[in-house]
Amino acid sequence: MRVKKFEAKNMKEALQMVKNHLGPDAVILSARDNRRNFGIGGEASVEVTAAVSESTLHKKQFAESRLTADARQRFQNSDAKTQRTIIERMVENRLRENQQEEKRRPITTMSYIDIPDEQPEVNSRRAAAMERAAGRNVRELLEDLEQPAPVARPAQPPQPEVSEKALSRIRNAAREAWQAGIFTNDEKPKASVPKPVAQGGMEVVSAAAPEPSAEITSLKNEIGRLQQMLESFQKVPQNFVTRHPGADFAIPFELSFMFQKLTESGITVDHTVEILQRAAKEIDPIQIKKKPIVDAWVARWFLDNTKIVQNPFQGRLHLFVGGAGSGKTSTLVKMASHLVVKEKKKVAILSTDAFKVGAVDQLKIYCQILNVPFAVLRNRKDWEWVLSQLTAVDHILVDFPGLQLRDLDEIHMLKSLLPPEGLSPIAHLCMSATTKDGDAYEIAKRYKVADYADLVVTNLDQSVQHGIITNLQAKTGKPLHSFGIGSRLPEDFELASKERVLDLIFRLTKLRREK
């Protein structure tokens, strides 16, 4: 939702500004006469606070972008009903054009599962033949290849050109190698005995064998290459054998996929091992082999062990504490917008952050937009007077500075800004989803001095791993209050729920991220 304040001399001009900036469907949230004078003439002014949804505003902006300068001027000067008609017509035309473009796009009729694998039958026969031929001679290899292939289910037709060519090459090489081996070893012809030659009165018989031809030499080399190939298949190196994920922690193989899924989502290894060891004990040994059963058990574990604040708006005084960049101010403004717009509550905003440049001015602008009271607290003495002026307010939201609490000075400063005892404040510890686990644990440990009651996890749209939600809750034992999923007000404020935590861990739906 887009909320904006307009100031003009009279109500007519203010409504015209609302229509020009937010469109004909804007909703007037409040209107009032200012006490101060407007302009040099000293005339009174009128303030109008209006709001419109993001989708409606985008439609208006789209319609104006398609108009020329003259047409845009006539569009802005027309009444609200005419503007609404023009916007709806232009949006409908655009949707119709998109549908026509989708129809013209070529769509393949073959699904992924119907795409044939590359030579499945030939590859399996070749591997089986090589495995059977390990340690045997070339004659047995040829016999294995000459045997007809086993009859298998015709899953998909193989590629005949590539498969037959490769198989024929192996058969011919093995046959020629076998014949060459027979000729050179087993059935080597006897050395020819030529006629005696008289030399010095003695008969000399020549028994020299003929030199092998180049073809036989090449076949011998081919035999050696095939033998090396068979030996490489027979002796697999040890580094090729890998253990399944989680094997180092005694996680069964049936749970290795879940171990990998949880660790990839950002959950620590210790926490993952604790979950899966319990799953291995409680799931039936036969059912544990079924992945849906394991998924259901782990999902049920998260639903049973995730703690959620039952009444997130309980109490009158809410404190937002946390380190620098944890999203305290953004969460405070989102919660205030939610209470004002959706819950129809009276809200006041206080700030104790007088150290960060622009922090007070930023909150003051938000308070002007929401039309809620605002005050700055500089020490504990200011609490009594400020609270006496806010007796008619339903909720008071207080923003605290982002302190790391690394020394005693910062700890004493935080304690000096906390409200006095007896007011029963509820402190929310804000933590960004992009924070490392070790840093998050340390910040949560230091902020125990603020006695925070629950956790607020922000910047979910900036992180791809949301295991910190479960890790931080398991470490602190505190329930979850709310989530911050973006920068829009108040749409990107979401109260925590068990189902949402399970959704983030298992990545069931896509989280919208700002571009």
Q: Is the pLDDT of residue 362 over 80?
A: yes
Amino acid (one-letter) located at 24: P
Give the model's pLDDT for residue 150. 52
Greater model confidence, 468 or 204: 468
Asked if 149 contacts 124 with a C-beta cutoff of 8 angstroms, the reply is no
Give the model's pLDDT for residue 197. 47
Q: What is the mean pLDDT of residues 7-27?
A: 84
Tell me the backbone φ, ψ of residue 230, rounded to 5 degrees: -65, -40
Give the model's pLDDT for residue 93. 86
The domains of the chain are located at 2-101, 121-146+163-186+214-241, 247-305, 317-506
Q: Is the pLDDT of residue 513 over 50?
A: no
Q: Is the pLDDT of residue 262 over 70?
A: yes
Model confidence over 275-288: pLDDT tens digits? 999 999 999 988 99
Q: How is residue 277 written in tokens?
A: 């060891």
Can you give the pTM of this predicted structure? 0.54
Q: What is the mean pLDDT of residues 303-329?
A: 92
Q: How is residue 204 written in tokens?
A: 């000399």
Model confidence over 239-252: pLDDT tens digits? 444 578 888 888 99
Give the model's pLDDT for residue 345. 92
Q: How is residue 62 written in tokens?
A: 């789209």
Q: Which residues pair with 349 in a beta bridge?
A: 374, 397
Superfamily in which the 317-506 domain is placed by CATH: P-loop containing nucleotide triphosphate hydrolases (3.40.50.300)
Q: Is the pLDDT of residue 332 over 60?
A: yes
> Residue 478, exposed/middle/buried by CB under 10 A (0-12, 13-18, 19+)?
middle
Give the model's pLDDT for residue 182. 54
Q: Which of 121-130, 359-368, 496-505 has the lowest average pLDDT?
A: 121-130
Q: What is the mean pLDDT of residues 34-55?
A: 69
DSSP string computed for 306-372: --B-S-TT-SSEEEEE-STTS-HHHHHHHHHHHHHHTS---EEEEE---SSTTHHHHHHHHHHHHT-
Q: Minimal CA–CA distance to 427: which of 479, 475, 377, 373?
A: 479
Q: What is the mean pLDDT of residues 73-98?
A: 84
Give the model's pLDDT for residue 192. 44
- Number of neighbouring beta carbons within 10 Å of residue 29: 17
Q: Which of 11-15, 406-410, 416-420 has the lowest average pLDDT?
A: 11-15
At residue 264 the predicted structure's pLDDT band, cuts being 50, 70 and 90, is very high
Q: Minimal CA–CA distance to 355: which of 414, 432, 429, 431?
A: 414
**Alpha-carbon Rg of the chain, whole angstroms?**
40
Helix/strand number for the chain, H first, E second: 18, 13
DSSP string computed for 217-248: HHHHHHHHHHHHHHHHHHS--GGG--PPTTGG
Rounded to whole angstroms, the Cα distance separating 111 from 211 reads: 60
> For 507, left (φ over 0), alpha (ψ -120 to 50), or beta?
left
User: What torsion, rounded to 10 degrees, do the Cα atoms 134, 136, 140, 142 define?
Assistant: 60
Give the model's pLDDT for residue 152. 47
Give the model's pLDDT for residue 234. 57
Q: Highest-confidence range of 83-87, 215-219, 362-366, 396-400, by mean pLDDT? A: 396-400
Q: What is the mean pLDDT of residues 129-136?
A: 51
Distance, C-alpha 501 to centroid of its chain: 13
Q: Is the pLDDT of residue 363 over 60?
A: yes
Rounded to whole angstroms, the Cα distance separating 271 from 455 reads: 19
Give the model's pLDDT for residue 476. 93
Q: Is the dihedral of CA 39, 44, 45, 47 positive or negative?
A: positive
Model confidence over 421-479: pLDDT tens digits? 888 899 999 999 999 999 999 999 999 999 999 999 999 988 888 999 999 999 999 99
Give the model's pLDDT for residue 241. 45
Asked if 485 contacts 513 with a C-beta cutoff of 8 angstroms, the reply is no
Give the model's pLDDT for residue 204. 43
Rounded to whole angstroms, the Cα distance separating 323 from 405 reads: 8
- Number of neighbouring beta carbons within 10 Å of residue 20: 15
Q: Is the dihedral of CA 307, 311, 314, 317 positive or negative?
A: positive
Greater model confidence, 39 or 51: 51
- 24 to 51, 57, 80: CA distances (angstroms): 11, 10, 5
Model confidence over 164-198: pLDDT tens digits? 666 666 677 666 666 665 554 444 444 444 444 44
> For 315, left (φ over 0), alpha (ψ -120 to 50), or beta?
left
Rounded to whole angstroms, the Cα distance separating 154 from 74 reads: 70
At residue 205 the predicted structure's pLDDT band, cuts being 50, 70 and 90, is very low
